[in-house]
Amino acid sequence: AQSVTQLGSHVSVSEGALVLLRCNYSSSVPPYLFWYVQYPNQGLQLLLKYTSAATLVKGINGFEAEFKKSETSFHLTKPSAHMSDAAEYFCAVSIMEYGNKLVFGAGTILRVKS
Amino acid sequence: DAGVTQSPTHLIKTRGQQVTLRCSPKSGHDTVSWYQQALGQGPQFIFQYYEEEERQRGNFPDRFSGHQFPNYSSELNVNALLLGDSALYLCASRQTDNTGELFFGEGSRLTVL
């Protein structure tokens, strides 16, 4: 069965600093990988997705993630944090043959300090 | 273009009661999934509906049931509510031939007292 581990339930960065949110996955078959963002009292918004094309994936709001099969990782980065990036971020994995259900990590709350 | 819409946004129930949550998928989408997000946790898959049938189910008891209508909208029903059912219930939709991208609604927050 597939699973996702997000290292660090809370991450705090200064405005303008690098954002790095870590995600490791476990899957017996090539996965599809996703990052979602959730603002308070809202649903989930897709940031980016990896579906076996380019290993470096660019998403919205300046975020990107790199799929590293050897490390089973899909870390999310942004060169310069903005106050509006403060939210909760979820990494998720899905397997096509399992009907595309998503298995989510526990989430990482990003705090951006001014 | 309306996205995924859910109702009600908030509701309070007492233990033992039953609840029905509703979801209208994004225009053009025919597959609907439901997720439960407990406080401080990631969403957990409940089940998925396509062509009015439950196609896949997560590790949830039979108290959780659903339905999909011919217009692709969906309902989630929970019977005999427990305190532990308190959570944000998220509906997500996609096109069947899409490579897994789901569009989520803003959720229905259920509180069980």
* CB of A57 closer than 8 Å to CB of A65: yes
Q: How would you write the pLDDT of chain B (113 residues) with one tens digit per residue?
A: 679 999 999 999 999 999 999 999 999 899 999 999 999 899 999 999 999 999 999 999 999 999 999 999 999 999 999 999 999 999 999 887 766 578 999 999 999 99
Among candidate residues B49, B106, B21, B67, the one with its CA nearest the CA of residue A101? B49
Which residue, chain included where needed, has tokens 């094309």? A53
Beta strand residue intervals within chain B, DSSP E: 5-7, 10-13, 19-24, 31-37, 44-50, 53-57, 64-68, 74-78, 87-94, 103-104, 108-112
What is the dihedral angle through the alpha carbons of B53, B58, B59, B62, rounded to the nearest 10 degrees? -20
In chain A, the N- to C-terminal Cα span, in Å, equals 41
* Identity of the residue numbered A72: T
Q: What is the pLDDT of residue A28?
A: 78
Min Cα–Cα distance to chain A from B105, Å:
5
SS3 state at A57 = strand
User: Does the pLDDT at position A6 exceed 90?
Assistant: yes
A27-51 pLDDT per residue, tens: 877 788 999 999 988 889 999 999 8
- For B106, the token pair is 């803003």
A34 in contact with B, Cβ within 8 Å: yes
A107 in contact with B, Cβ within 8 Å: yes
Which of B23, B44, B45 is best to mutate for the A interface (most A CBs within 10 A)? B45
* CB of A114 closer than 8 Å to CB of A16: no
Among candidate residues A71, A83, A57, the one with its CA nearest the CA of residue A5? A71
Q: Which residue has the higher pLDDT, B41 or A2?
A: B41
Q: What is the pLDDT of residue A98?
A: 55
The Cα–Cα gap between B26 and B104 comes to: 9
Chain A hits for B53, CB-CB cut-off 8 Å, are: none
Q: Which residue has the higher pLDDT, A1 or B9?
A: B9
Q: What is the pLDDT of residue A53?
A: 75
Distance of CA B66 to the CA centre of its chain: 8
Q: What is the pLDDT of residue A58?
A: 95
A36 in contact with B, Cβ within 8 Å: yes
Residue A49 has its nearest CB partner, among B43, B56, B101, at B101
Tell me the torsion sign for CA atoms B90, B96, B102, B104.
Answer: negative
